[in-house]
Structure 1
């Protein structure tokens, strides 16, 4: 592509301040493709960068269209998702297509490398994965953190249980927790319960098909618990509610350490604690199948389209809980 491209991008200055700059893009670096950002979803982890400021353009849940390709990359006009780990490609994990486990991880798109809160974005060839033609961009973006991370965690959890997951509790009904609910139902897990102190969020889980958990006091109730909030009370509840031999999926993030309390209950509980990061490329095809069955329903339940130039206001509404899963789009709605 020879025509000069003018690109507007967002910058996090810290303390919730978002600024914008517009510049003419230079030539694409070797080993990269240039995409037009079609959708970039906001993530709860972005709140940390919003508060602290960021050295790069944030935004890591991205669907875009290639406008300038490169050798060994999909052709121009191909819609892609951005796979955020910039892995070495040479270690044992990468050679097994477990790039999320790279031993020499170079960083993450939107964290250490410019991300998708912009009109255009340059992406390493290894980090673009084609989107099937039948999946809209505002559903495809869920294949990343919301569906992809949830599905990977549930698959790891299932490996700890001889007969798979039959009984699941999801604690925390933010975007990731609601993603776990949707994925669990798409996977056919028979019993999916949910709990959140916010009744509206809990109502969204019920709308997706989960059953409201009524008893958070009785111990040994759930085979597998996905703790998706990162809050200390939720972590403590998971420790009490998990069955002997069950598993806790530690998905919620916060700035507080993850503690296993030195109580008689904890000492006498035989269970797995599973921590997962993102998802491997080997799971992408199966994730598309899950999205086909439940992705549009999740989109319609939790997602709100917004515009790039409204990003600071959008984050304010996201922080206040008015938006569950907003995303910027450059397409006409």
Structure 2
């Protein structure tokens, strides 16, 4: 069974007969597939492929040994260009497909992906934690690593937006020893950020407050806040996604301010080992705070509650009882 997004918030399901695994591909039993805020765009617009790009599963056929546990690296990188050969696979010069966007993803019982896109999971990390190493922790950690290259120190850091990725930024920052303030208009999400160690931000109307501001919501008001409160010489990290263009204010203050703007996409495979180390420190506590497990037939409910803000990070898990238990414990 697999889900199809018809557009205008409609999700249907269909049963298909699995064909042979293509050469170079791997078939995974999908054990967990997390919902992402970017999936809301496909929920509204519809999708020609099966969505779902935060996937953890078990190999059941194809080019890797059966039983291998892995998470799915969504950029279908070529592996041969100069960027890929340097380990910077998120910068692949020949990138044309993302799993869950241009080819079938994980809102299904099985998914076929290129073998090079399967990241084997260490034995000591549960899949329910490992899957957070994709967008929630992997993307957050890569963005912070890039931003820290621009600063001698980041004594005052602000995270604007405490959705799943924003909470990932808070958790990773704490593991890296970076103290952060957090802002979110949703009190439940802000409370989650404080549980992870953030300090609620104070008055954000004044200029020049923070060395580093990580904007994670994509909302215009959040972008304006980030550009206002960053100090001269500071860094704005633009992680939030939106259908609206990213603009910089045409104001005297902004024109007269030295500032770095960092935009990052996903993470390179050369950072995977470091990300496992982060997950060993904070992955289980992050999972226990934000993840809500549901099964594939409950996907419409999961999205409804996700869009409403009731769930922070819904995850579709296999109906296998031990996997449900793993995600909830």
Query: If the TM-score is normalised by the length of the shorter chain, which range does it land in?
Result: over 0.9
Q: Which residue of 1 aligns with 2:316?
A: 328
C-alpha distance in 2 between matches for 1:67 and 1:200? 39
Of 257, 262, 282 in structure 2, the residue corresponding to residue 274 of structure 1 is: 262
Aligned-partner SS, 2:15:
strand
C-alpha distance in 1 between matches for 2:191 and 2:172? 17
CA contact (8 A) 2:22 2:62 kept: no
Of 112, 124, 137 in structure 1, the residue corresponding to residue 127 of structure 2 is: 137
Is 1:229 paired with 2:217? Answer: yes
C-alpha distance in 2 between matches for 1:124 and 1:111? 15
Aligned-partner SS, 1:103:
coil
Q: Which residue of 1 aligns with 2:205?
A: 217
Of 169, 174, 187 in structure 1, the residue corresponding to residue 176 of structure 2 is: 187
Q: Which residue of 1 aligns with 2:226?
A: 238
Of 245, 248, 256 in structure 1, the residue corresponding to residue 236 of structure 2 is: 248
Output one character per residue of 1:231-288: Cα deviation in whole Å (capped at 9) or x when no partner.
1111111111111111000000111110101001110110100000000000000001
Q: How does 1:1-333 map to 2 (within 5 A)?
A: 8-70=1-63, 73=64, 75-163=65-153, 165-189=154-178, 191-330=179-318, 331-332=320-321, 333=324
Aligned-partner SS, 2:246:
coil
Aligned-partner SS, 1:65:
strand
C-alpha distance in 2 between matches for 1:184 and 1:9? 36
C-alpha distance in 2 between matches for 1:243 and 1:187? 22
Q: What is the CA-CA distance between 1:29 and the residue it aligns to?
A: 0.3
Identify unmatched segments of 5+ residues in structure 2. Answer: 325-329
C-alpha distance in 2 between matches for 1:162 and 1:215? 26
Q: What is the CA-CA distance between 1:106 and the residue it aligns to?
A: 2.2
Aligned-partner SS, 1:23:
coil
Aligned-partner SS, 2:16:
strand
C-alpha distance in 1 between matches for 2:285 and 2:157? 20
C-alpha distance in 1 between matches for 2:254 and 2:7? 39
Aligned residues: 321
Q: What is the CA-CA distance between 1:229 and the residue it aligns to?
A: 0.5
Aligned-partner SS, 2:55:
strand
C-alpha distance in 2 between matches for 1:267 and 1:178? 31
Aligned-partner SS, 1:205:
helix
Q: What is the CA-CA distance between 1:167 and the residue it aligns to?
A: 2.4
Aligned-partner SS, 2:141:
helix
Aligned-partner SS, 1:40:
strand
CA contact (8 A) 2:236 2:261 kept: yes
Identify unmatched segments of 5+ residues in structure 1. Answer: 1-7
Query: What stretches of structure 1 move > 3 A for 4+ residues in a row?
Result: none
- Give me the CA root mean square deviation: 0.9
